């Protein structure tokens, strides 16, 4: 069984056996400047994936495949970062790019206690736009960034239109853009929004006294995300 989940984790390649011992298997990965290991938690319905950046530049986007066995046969799940949103956030616990030489840990809940598990790092994209992994997979990252750039540009244009407007008028303009975006997503639910719509919805729910300050903050974040999303075009 295989399914996909959007999460921000990734790096080392190993295998862990139940019973408290961690058997790090020597696997030759297609990715060499990053790695991922998985650790079983004896008696608990979860595993921990540890991600490491072995390169000299921040790791912006990556994908791993976790395979585990609860006793009834292997199941797998893919974890991938958000192509531009993750890259735009400042490095912090559990989110944003992974700095050089640093690790990240992610607890993955399961439906039962795993008797075995392994994780494979599928591809990586670094802040200098160098990549490792299958070309068709890394190319998809930049395709997603193009789509996210288009969404971000739409919101930045809406923010510009709301500039210097009374709060009620500014909210009205952004509410119209929000409704148009929701309608578009009903027709094309596959469009990656990167959480942009949710951020704007929270902004519109803010009290009028806080709206201007929160708008400035979200606009700044969106501008940074947009510059990262289009960087590969230069």
Average pLDDT on 4-29 reads 36
Tracing tokens 């990965």 back to the chain, one arrives at 29
Rg of the chain, C-alpha, whole Å: 20
Task: Please state the pTM of the whole predicted model.
Answer: 0.73
**Per-residue b or e along 137-153, where b marks 16 or more CB atoms closer than 10 Å to that residue's CB:** ebeebbebbebbbebbe
Strands (E), the chain: 2-6, 14-17, 34-40, 46-53, 59-69, 74-80, 103-109, 116-126, 131-132
For residue range 156-188, list pLDDT tens digits in order: 999 999 999 999 999 999 999 999 999 988 888
Contacts by 142-148, CB closer than 8 A, 24 or more apart: 142/83, 142/232, 144/83, 144/84, 144/192, 145/83, 145/84, 145/228, 145/229, 145/230, 145/232, 146/229, 146/230, 147/191, 147/192, 148/83, 148/84, 148/85, 148/192, 148/193, 148/194, 148/196, 148/225, 148/229
Residue 19 confidence (pLDDT): 37
Residue 87 confidence (pLDDT): 67
Instruction: Please list, in sequence order, all residues whose beta carbon lies within 8 angstroms of the beta carbon of residue 73, skipping any fewer than 6 positions away.
Output: none
Pairing of strands 74-80, 2-6: parallel
Percent of the chain past pLDDT 90, that is, above it, reads 58
Q: How do the domains of the chain map onto residue ranges?
A: 2-133, 138-233
- Contact call for residues 10 and 61 (beta carbons, < 8 A): no
Q: How far is CA 154 from the centre of its chain?
A: 21
Residue 79 confidence (pLDDT): 84
For residue range 197-220, list pLDDT tens digits in order: 989 999 999 999 999 999 999 999
| Average pLDDT taken over every residue of the chain | 83
| CATH 2.60.40 describes domain 2-133 | yes
């Amino acid at each position: 069984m295989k399914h996909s989940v959007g999460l921000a984790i990734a790096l080392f390649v190993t295998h862990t056996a139940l019973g408290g011992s961690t058997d790090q298997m020597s696997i030759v990965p297609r990715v060499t400047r990053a790695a991922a290991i998985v650790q079983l938690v004896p008696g608990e319905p979860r595993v921990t994936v540890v991600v490491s950046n072995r390169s000299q530049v921040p790791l912006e986007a990556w994908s791993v495949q976790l395979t585990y066995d609860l006793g009834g046969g292997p199941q797998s799940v893919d974890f991938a970062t958000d192509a531009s949103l993750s890259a735009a956030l400042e490095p912090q616990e559990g989110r944003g790019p992974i700095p050089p030489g640093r690790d990240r840990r992610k607890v993955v809940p399961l439906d039962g206690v795993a008797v075995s598990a392994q994780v494979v790092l599928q591809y990586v994209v670094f802040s200098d736009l160098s990549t490792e992994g299958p070309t068709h997979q890394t190319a998809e990252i930049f395709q997603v960034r193009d789509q996210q750039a288009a969404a971000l540009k739409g919101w930045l244009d809406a923010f510009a239109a709301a500039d210097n407007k009374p709060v009620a008028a500014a909210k009205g303009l952004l509410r119209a853009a929000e409704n148009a975006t929701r309608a578009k997503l009903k027709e094309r639910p596959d469009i990656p929004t990167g959480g942009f719509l949710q951020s704007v919805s929270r902004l519109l729910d803010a009290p009028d006294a806080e709206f201007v300050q929160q708008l400035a903050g979200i606009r700044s974040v969106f501008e940074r995300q947009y510059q990262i999303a289009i960087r590969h075009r230069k």
